[in-house]
Structure 1
């Protein structure tokens, strides 16, 4: 219903005053034309009426009147209907025939429901969304989300109806949220509450990350119902090949069991894993008897051999620093002469070595000298006072290891580290910005140095603030291994210094040397992995990356781009991963159909690529909705009870209509909407004034009045 009337005038004036204004306008108009005796009476009163009307209308508009329109609407109450769209609703068991029975219940509701309400339909699984077309594809049931949705929209609805089996496998207990509702919730039980015989793989967990040459545990949780006194075989399948089995016995009518498999890998790479339980003839369903996941096996930690040919304080300082890193396994050896060693004998070591640190050099022709020339591991050479005579006129093989020769050895100098150019970007030079000439002095010999052309001189030495030709730090990346040389000694002064800058420089420089040199040139600095071993079709795929730079330090300032695809010929989707700190990057890239996918990532820092990696992502059918398919009437009853609602166990929707009637939920509500319109905002009135004045002017012209 719509009504309109003049509510008032601003400023507010008595209606009598408005009438008085109209009379005054009429008198003024009459006085203007009363003296005209040359025109007819009808034209005279026409002129008086037109002018009086125009004056009255203008005066009224000057007082800013407004028109109030009231719209009265009868609002029918609305009921929210929530339909469980999870996969467990499709399972056929007992008298429940899956989607057919579910659809029959909904059809009965639609034909029987009261016409005194409007109905708003929602679907839910792990989320809540509008709609009423069932496909029963949801991979989880989160009724807590439904309760939160009801609470957020309580003012819109008179009541809510929940169609569900009440099986919650995601989110919090919905009873806590239901206690805060002020509108009744009607729960309609859908599904079957009878017990069935079934075996399911509830969960699989494994070590992450997985390393070579280590014990890796795979744990499988098996649940069963109805197979008391029987047994099953749990199979572990790797890359399509059966590699291990376990037998599990069922001592009770319903039980849960944990089975463990132990794997030890010698080769890194990707391994496609599957846990499978052969189904039994009387088993309810075999869709929950298989679980797929992917293992990525990585190399283990670094073995570092510290081989000293002189007794010097620098040796102990470097060894202490290397041993302080838990990622390093330090093997110490000191050559005593005549093929005797303190500590480990390097000639007898049978384990893989990731880095050899040479403190000084052996004499040519010795067994350890020949052993060293035959090695292919990365080498970090640290000069000591006696090593300079070995590099003087050294043979080509030793020259290839140290990357430096010195001829005409002269004076022993007290030197400082030379300044570092801003244009140098080598990972070894990522050092704190400090005044190098204020640090303790090092010692090195003046002489004619020759640096291997395949190597790069990163630092030189200063003597009394003058640049020398002493190549203090040399690095070489030969393709299959890395080599680094430090041509100065006295670093123990830095370790023992009272200056924080000196101690920090020693720690940072030698950590850089050890991590960069021990890192193979082809080692993956970027590690890419899915957050879970397997994703379901309806949950977002999340990828995690860890990035270290060329010397093995976490890098959080890089740009990491991710490409995701299923086959080489498929279109690739590109994402940018978000940094989380400490070299960790993440990306949530949406949900995908079932299948095995590939993810490839590239990390760039500035103008250089510092890492590339790939991983496999397994998207499979989730077993979560199939672990338990027995309707939970107790939960549905409690939800109805705490909200003063109704548990419709009879599935008779006439009972639902009576509940609505008994609680007066069908009462309508009148909603009045007020609309204010100011007359001056409508140009019609000013157009009317112009018409009145124009008509007056035409009459005046017709009687020859100016």
Structure 2
């Protein structure tokens, strides 16, 4: 579009040009030439007008189509109300729909009635309500409200009608939905008094404890309906009764707390159950039982250290284990006169971890490695090898399989010191903090080994001439026994381990390196169990539409991992679900939940942002069956429906007054305003006018014999 100043200049130049060119002709040849001159000026003015690209904005309006949307509850609980049978329910649905159609027919304004059924999801009602099966396993009123105000540009929802018992078992609170001032009328079905029911809503206990700890299981018991009897709450494990209490439920949605105190003296995963006795006339007794498990860890751990010849490495190892209160260390040292103390106790006692420090050496018996292999198989002990100058490499050949390593080509380095590098770690199976190995001083290689089994991995390495030389190898090997947990191994191949602590690049002791080895020691001895995380779900079998919740804790989680987030990965059939867990500061647990919408077998993983869960075995399993979770809530939640209507300017109707709803419907017609722009440079009438004027001028000139 031309600016106004350029338009004015163009008009003035055009006027001057026309006057200059036609002045003589007009004077000599009279009025007809004056007419042609003015005619051409008009054409010039129109062309300039088009070049200016003027626009004309117009505003218009069209009436919107009025809609009334009605949603019929199709969940299974609707057929279990004592005052309304399934047949009368569907007949009532039909009556409501017919009364709305009559209202729309008699109204002067044109009104459309759109009918839907809902349960877990919302579906258009294509046929009569009499064909509804009333069989959906859950109710999601929030999904109704999410769809209720969705319209085309030329439509307007005048009213929303929800026919339901108000029970919402799936989705968020429907009262929080903003409906843009659309009135929501509700029709309640059923009795306000809930069916008699008592259930164990929650049991608050830790997921993992230390053997011998005394814990309290805080149990929340909910009761509904009118209850005039006492119930017994029992607590047991493996069929053995641990305690029982008697309470008087108050009903009507009340909660009571029952506490059981107990002590666990057995190591492993212990299963417990808390059960309530059933009530008279109670229909749903499945929720009378709550099952949970607790992982019990050892309170004491034994480490056996075999030192072939004491060295600075021995001193460093003593620093590593010295401050651990729950670790008992038996140190056996080989002297000229033999072992001190005697190895007899070593062979008899079971150790969680055996450390070979500068051992075996040349004085070790040939069958010693065979005896140690037998002990490792019998006790399922972890094993660590710390290289030293006195080690006889040939005596290690019999322990290679037990250590999970194999021989690497032995290169001649002549005590040459090599820089340390961080190795590329391909898995997250070793939950210990990372260490910047590149910042540590160089070391001389001594043992040349590499991982020999799938579970072993190089953590750090020395920069060799041809290829890197593994420095620290850590991982797991398969247990010879048929147990679930593999055996843990660690190998340090340089004889100068102590230098990384006593002499770092700044000439000071390296406390970070000491902490690293303390964490490695804890992992080897499994002081936090064979897992670094302990999570549980409430049970292993759920009904469709039921909430599946998980809670648990990490025994070692860095601040960086905590900030990056913890995730709950769920897989079922060909689908998967990723749920972020939130941390409950009060209970010191990670928690999360989701609604089990499909029946089938599920498996799940718990992992942090930087972990690769696909390389892990699932952390747990559960099943979802096609069930009737709706039957737990077969009563009228009048408060929710009434609150929803009041918040939106609608009205609540009881089931007996359902046909009166049309009397409170008000239809307000509105218009949709829209604007459009006419661009004169592209406006066809103007283009036709220019063509017409140019043609007319040409015809007039030809008739007069003018050019």
Normalising by the smaller structure, the TM-score range is: 0.5 to 0.7
Distance 1:47 1:642, change over 3 A: closer
- Residue 410 of structure 1 corresponds to none
Q: Which of the numbers 191, 194, 198 marks the counterpart of 1:193?
A: 191
Query: What's 1:5 paired with?
Result: none
Residue 510 (structure 1) aligned with residue 517 (structure 2):
yes
**Alignment CA distance shift 1:166-1:546 (3 Å):** closer
**Aligned partners of 1:201 and 1:290 also within 8 Å:** yes
* Cα 1:267/1:120, change in 2 over 3 Å: farther
CA displacement at 1:290 relative to structure 2: 8.1
What's 1:379 paired with?
Answer: 383
Contact 1:235 1:277 in 2 (8 A): no
Residue 199 and residue 341 in structure 1: after superposition, are their counterparts in 2 closer, same or farther (change >3 A)?
A: farther
Report deviation, 1:318: 2.9
Residue 307 of structure 1 aligns with which residue? Answer: 305
Query: Of the candidates 92, 100, 119, which is equivalent to residue 90 of structure 2?
Result: 100
Gaps of 5+ in 2: 8-14, 127-131, 408-413, 480-486, 584-588
Once the two structures are TM-superposed, the CA of residue 704 in structure 1 deviates from its matched residue by 5.7
- Where does 1:346-385 land on structure 2 (aligned, <5 Å)? 346-350=346-350, 353-359=351-357, 372=372, 374-376=374-376, 377-382=381-386
1:677 matches 2:678: yes
Query: How big is the alpha-carbon RMSD for the aligned residues of Structure 1 and Structure 2?
Result: 7.2
Q: State the match for 1:686 in structure 2.
A: 687
Pick closer, same or farther for the CA change 1:586–1:627 going to 2, 3 Å: closer
Residue number among 498, 501, 519 corresponding to 1:491 in the alignment: 498
Matched, 1:631 2:620: no
In structure 2, the residue corresponding to 1:163 is in which secondary structure? strand
* Deviates most, 678-687 or 310-319: 310-319
Query: Number of aligned pairs?
Result: 628
The secondary structure found in structure 1 opposite 2:436 is coil
Shift of 1:631: 1.3
Q: Deviations over 1:329-361 (max 9, x none)?
A: 5221234898875999545535xx332124455
For the Cα contact (< 8 Å) 1:526–1:611, is it kept in 2? Answer: no
1:333 equivalent in structure 2: 330
Offset at residue 648 of structure 1 (A): 2.4
Q: Distance in 2 between matches of 1:320 and 1:494?
A: 10
Distance 1:158 1:275, change over 3 A: same
> Is residue 647 from structure 1 mapped to residue 648 from structure 2 by the alignment?
no
Q: CA–CA distance in 2 between the matches of 1:424 and 1:60?
A: 73
Give the match's secondary structure for 1:488: coil
Query: 1:418 corresponds to which residue?
Result: 418
CA contact (8 A) 2:77 2:634 kept: yes
- State whether residues 581 and 592 of structure 2, in contact with CA within 8 Å, keep that contact through their aligned partners in structure 1: no
Distance in 2 (CA, whole Å) between partners of 1:331 and 1:492 is 26
Aligned to 1:91: 80
SS at structure 2 position matched to 1:93 = coil
Determine helix, strand or coil for the equivalent of 2:491: strand
The farther-off stretch of 670-679 and 395-404 is 395-404
1:198 and 1:224 in contact (8 A); partners too = yes
Change (3 A) 1:82 1:234: farther
Could you list the per-position Cα deviations for residues 65-92 of structure 1 after superposition, in whole angstroms to 9, with x for gaps in the alignment?
6556553434566566565565544433
Secondary structure of the equivalent of 1:648? strand
Q: Which residue of 2 aligns with 1:17?
A: none
Would you say the 8 A contact 2:207–2:534 is kept in 1? Answer: no
Q: Specify whether residues 610 and 263 from structure 1 end up closer, same or farther in structure 2 by C-alpha distance, changes over 3 A only.
A: farther
- 1:529-554 per-residue CA deviation (whole Å, 9 max, x = no partner) reads 879856664589899999999xxx98
Change (3 A) 1:692 1:510: same
The C-alpha deviation readout for 1:604-624, integer Å capped at 9, x for no partner, is 999999644464242245776
CA 1:614–1:185 in 2, change beyond 3 Å: closer, same or farther? same
Q: Contact 2:96/2:659 (CA < 8 Å) preserved in 1? A: no
Cα drift, residue 375 of structure 1: 1.9
Aligned counterparts of 1:599 and 1:423: Cα–Cα separation in 2: 30
Contact 1:484 / 1:513 at 8 angstroms: preserved in 2?
Answer: no
What's the CA shift for 1:275? 9.3
Query: Matched residue of 1:507: which SS?
Result: helix
Match of 1:432 among 429, 432, 436: 436
Q: CA offset at residue 305 of structure 1?
A: 0.5
Task: Please report how far the alpha carbon of residue 693 of structure 1 lies from its aligned counterpart in structure 2 after TM superposition.
Answer: 2.8
- The answer for the alignment partner of 1:110 in structure 2 is 100
2:320 counterpart residue number: 321
Q: Residue 74 and residue 166 in structure 1: after superposition, are their counterparts in 2 closer, same or farther (change >3 A)? A: same
Q: Which residue of 2 aligns with 1:569?
A: none
Determine the C-alpha separation between the residues in 1 that align with 2:280 and 2:545: 30
Asked if structure 2 preserves the Cα contact closer than 8 Å seen for 1:575 and 1:589, the reply is no
Residues 636 and 548 of structure 1: is their aligned pair in 2 closer, same or farther, counting only changes over 3 Å?
A: closer
Distance 1:554 1:62 in 2: 65
Unaligned runs of 5+ in 1: 1-9, 14-20, 406-412, 567-571
Question: Could you tell me how far apart the structure 2 residues matched to 1:128 and 1:628 are?
Answer: 18
In the aligned structure 2, how far is the partner of 1:262 from the partner of 1:322?
Answer: 32
Distance (whole Å) between structure 2 residues aligned to residue 173 and residue 450 of structure 1: 65
Given the alignment of the two structures, is residue 71 of structure 1 paired with residue 82 of structure 2, yes or no?
A: no
| Contact 2:603–2:619, Cα closer than 8 Å, also in 1 | yes
* 1:225–1:483 Cα change, 3 Å: same
Largest Rg, 1 or 2: 1
Q: Which has the larger displacement, 97-106 or 453-462?
A: 453-462
